[in-house]
Homo-oligomer: A and B are copies of this chain.
Amino acid sequence: MSKGHVVAIVSGGLDSVTLAYHLADTDYDVSLISYNYGQRHDKEIEFARLCADRLSAEHFVVDLRAITSLMNTSSLTSDDIEVPDGHYAEETMKITVVPNRNAIMINVGTALAVSRGYDFVATGVHGGDHFIYPDCRPEFIASQAETLRLANAGFISERFDVLAPFVNIPKDGIVTIGDAIQVPWVETWSCYKGGEIHCGSCGTCFERREAFELAGVEDPTAYMATPSFSDPR
């Protein structure tokens, strides 16, 4: 029996694709929502669409570029700023943060859920993101869910919640979960640089490679380069 209908926020990355498969595997009806916020490339959204196809799920793509163009400093949305290499979890990576992004994505996903009579919104935020992203922390998720229940009282499903099953799990834990349900890893995209294949060197590629290594799961991803994790960055 279905646990309810969930709008899953899926970027096409490893975490959010695993989220969608995990929700489907645990008996939710799933619809996918993806956001175009001015990424430099469309690869992510193509993989989100493929995920929806595999799960025979609805897929909504929402153009948020009008919002992100308001902001003036983000390497995710501007061609003028070079993407830094290395780990996210460094002060210098703050440049990649679009302010309040997760909250906006959850709020728009909730609007969709309310309009369709669906029960939940789900996000793939995970434990490894807590360090610099405040909007990936469990206390934010809980507060956001309560705010949304208040904002939509009388219109929202009585079961409504913001599902964040990975919020206390590091990225390698997501690989372990995805491995058990045979997530097609080659149909996920992490690289910030929109090449033909993953670069292997940027922050998200590093984290992706590290997650497979820590999980002890074979990484089927094709990388341009695989610099050592211990090299000075």
Interface residues of A (CB under 8 A from B): 60, 62-64, 66-67, 70-73, 94, 97-104, 107-108, 110-112, 114-115, 134-135, 137, 139-140, 143-144, 146-148, 150-155
Q: Quick one: closest B residue to A62, CB to CB? A: B66
Are A103 and B151 CB-contacts (below 8 A) given A73-B115, A143-B146?
A: yes
Indicate whether A111 sits within 8 Å of B104 (C-beta atoms), given known contacts A99-B152, A151-B135: yes
Known: A99-B114, A143-B146. A70 touches B60 (CB 8 A): yes
Interfacial chain B residues near A147, Cβ < 8 Å: 103, 140, 143-144, 146-147
Q: A71-B115, A103-B107, A140-B150 are in contact. List 9 more A-B contacts (CB 8 A).
A: A70-B112, A94-B155, A97-B155, A99-B155, A100-B114, A101-B111, A134-B154, A135-B152, A139-B150
B residues less than 8 Å from A94 (CB atoms): 155
Q: Interface of chain A, helix or strand or loop or mixed?
A: helix
A66 to B155, CA, bound (A): 21
Also in contact, A150 and B155, with CB within 8 A (given A66-B63, A111-B70): no
Give the residues in chain B near A148, CB-CB below 8 Å: 100, 103
Q: Which of B64, B114, B115, B151 contacts A66 (CB 8 A)?
A: B64
Given A66-B66, A67-B62 in contact, is the A137-B152 Cβ separation under 8 Å? no
B contact residues around A99 at 8 Å (CB) = 110-112, 114-115, 152, 155
A152 and B73 alpha carbons, distance in the complex (Å): 15
Q: A117 to chain B: closest CB distance in Å?
A: 11
Task: Give the docked Cα–Cα distance between A223 and B72 (Å).
Answer: 43
Q: A139: shortest Cβ distance to chain B, in Å? A: 6
Q: Give complex CA distance A151, B134 in Å.
A: 5
Q: Specify which chain B residues have a CB less than 8 angstroms from the CB of A144 in the assembled complex.
A: 147, 150-151
| Bound-complex Cα distance A111 to B64 (A) | 12
Nearest B residue (CB) for A136 = B151
Could you tell me the distance between the alpha carbons of A156 and B148 in the complex, rounded to whole angstroms? 21
| A151: B residues at CB distance < 8 A | 100, 102-103, 134-135, 140, 144
> Could you jot down 19 A-B contacts, CB within 8 Å?
A60-B70, A62-B66, A62-B67, A70-B108, A70-B115, A71-B112, A94-B155, A99-B110, A99-B115, A100-B108, A100-B110, A100-B148, A101-B111, A103-B147, A104-B104, A107-B107, A139-B150, A140-B151, A144-B150
